[in-house]
């Protein structure tokens, strides 16, 4: 579900309401997520204060005064919402963290592809999938030159390169497709065939598209909600994603959908070559 703009929106919503709050109670209703929720979870959280909320790629990091870090990944259908404790719970609310503010943080995830891990701060970098994450798209080291060097010799399609978290951390299928529309490159093109100029354009476009999506609080086309359980708005601004058969907003031709692997890619065959 949530890609970088959605995760960033959630973090921005949570930071001011969680900072300095103390956890008074923890309920784990469903342990079977992508990894089982570990047994010490409740004991290590209860009574502790939250010091900060951060994002790395699509991961949410909730830092505690104890140097423990609660790491969450929302998978495809996860939500992390901050609500009044009195609000009725819903099906698929898996982890409930009660705060001294009278509110609760609820991790909700119908498909259970998400991840919840509690680690010591220093263990973070040792997490294999975490250690291998590429640059953040807003990192100044994420340049055309960097992306160009990674695409040399790569027979993969450019859409697949962009959603590879080792290349750049935080892009998923929606934003990879949107970025490629703005860079005027078809998602199906083999990465090695792209010249310097095109790769430069992709790298420059990436943070621009993401920044705009963050301004609109992310994309909700079904599950995604922000920290206060509100919809995002960026779905109104999508150029290609989920628009098969609709008119391109630039040239009025019909948007096409093709399968790359098991996932859809969307493009305008006139605007994108």
Partner DNA sequence: CGGTGGACCTGCTGGC
Partner DNA sequence: TGCCAGCAGGTCCACC
Just list the catalytic residues. Answer: 2-3, 58, 263
Select from 22, 112, 212, 249 the one that contacts DNA (CB under 7 A): 112
Select from 24, 68, 110, 144 the one that contacts DNA (CB under 7 A): 110
Select the span of 11-19, 197-205, 209-217, 221-229 touching DNA (CB under 7 A).
221-229
How far apart are CB 142 and DNA at their closest, in Å? Answer: 17
154 is an interface residue for DNA by CB under 7 A:
yes
172 is an interface residue for DNA by CB under 7 A:
yes
Long-range contact pairs involving 143-147 (C-beta distance under 8 Å, separation at least 24): 143/203, 144/196, 144/199, 144/200, 144/201, 144/202, 144/203, 144/204, 146/203, 147/199, 147/202, 147/203
- For the chain, the farthest-separated pair of C-alpha atoms sits apart, in whole angstroms, at 59
Q: Is the dihedral of CA 251, 254, 255, 258 positive or negative?
A: negative
222 is an interface residue for DNA by CB under 7 A:
yes
How far apart are CB 221 and DNA at their closest, in Å? Answer: 5
159 is an interface residue for DNA by CB under 7 A:
no
How far apart are CB 188 and DNA at their closest, in Å? Answer: 10
* CA separation for the pair 167, 162 (Å, rounded): 7
How far apart are CB 154 and DNA at their closest, in Å? Answer: 4
Q: Which helix (H) or strand (E) covers residue 118, if one does?
A: strand 115-120
Among 142, 114, 118, smallest CA distance to 208 is for 142
Write the CB contacts of 66 (distance below 8 Å, at least 6 apart in sequence): 44, 48
165 is an interface residue for DNA by CB under 7 A:
yes
Quick note: the x/- pattern for DNA over 181-200, rule CB under 7 A, is --------------------
22 is an interface residue for DNA by CB under 7 A:
no
DSSP assignment of 55-76, as one string? EETTEEEEEETTSEEEEEE-TT
Select from 224, 226, 239, 271 the one that contacts DNA (CB under 7 A): 224
Structure tokens at 1: 């579900």
Structure tokens at 124: 């973070």
Among 25, 44, 42, smallest CA distance to 103 is for 25
How far apart are CB 127 and DNA at their closest, in Å? Answer: 8
Binding residues for DNA, rule: CB under 7 A, are 1-3, 6, 32, 34, 57-58, 73, 75-77, 91-92, 110-113, 129, 153-157, 160, 163, 165, 172-174, 218-224, 232, 261-264
């Amino acid at each position: 579900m949530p890609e970088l703009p959605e995760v960033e929106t959630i973090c921005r919503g949570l930071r001011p309401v969680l900072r300095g709050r103390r956890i008074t109670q923890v309920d784990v209703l469903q342990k079977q997520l992508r990894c089982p929720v570990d047994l010490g979870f409740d004991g290590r959280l209860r009574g502790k204060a939250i010091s900060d909320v951060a994002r790395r790629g699509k991961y949410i990091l909730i830092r505690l005064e104890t140097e423990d870090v609660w790491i969450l990944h929302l998978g495809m259908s996860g939500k992390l919402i901050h609500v009044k404790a009195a609000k009725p719970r819903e099906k698929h609310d898996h982890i409930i963290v009660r705060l001294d503010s009278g509110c609760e943080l609820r991790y909700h995830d119908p498909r259970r592809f998400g991840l919840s891990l509690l680690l010591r701060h220093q263990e973070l970098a040792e997490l294999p999938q975490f250690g291998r994450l590429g640059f953040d798209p807003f990192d100044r080291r994420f340049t055309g030159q960097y992306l160009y060097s990674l695409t040399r010799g790569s027979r993969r399609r450019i859409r697949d390169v962009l959603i590879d978290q080792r290349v750049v951390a935080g892009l998923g299928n929606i934003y990879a497709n949107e970025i490629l529309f703005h860079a005027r490159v078809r998602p199906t093109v083999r990465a090695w065939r792209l010249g310097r100029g095109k790769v430069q354009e992709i790298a420059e476009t990436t943070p621009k598209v993401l920044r705009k999506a963050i301004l609109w609080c992310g994309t909700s086309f079904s599950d995604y909600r922000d920290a206060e359980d509100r919809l995002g708005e960026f779905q109104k601004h999508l150029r290609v994603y989920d628009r098969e058969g609709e008119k391109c907003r630039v040239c009025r031709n019909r948007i096409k959908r093709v399968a790359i692997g098991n996932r859809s890619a969307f493009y305008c065959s006139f605007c994108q070559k």
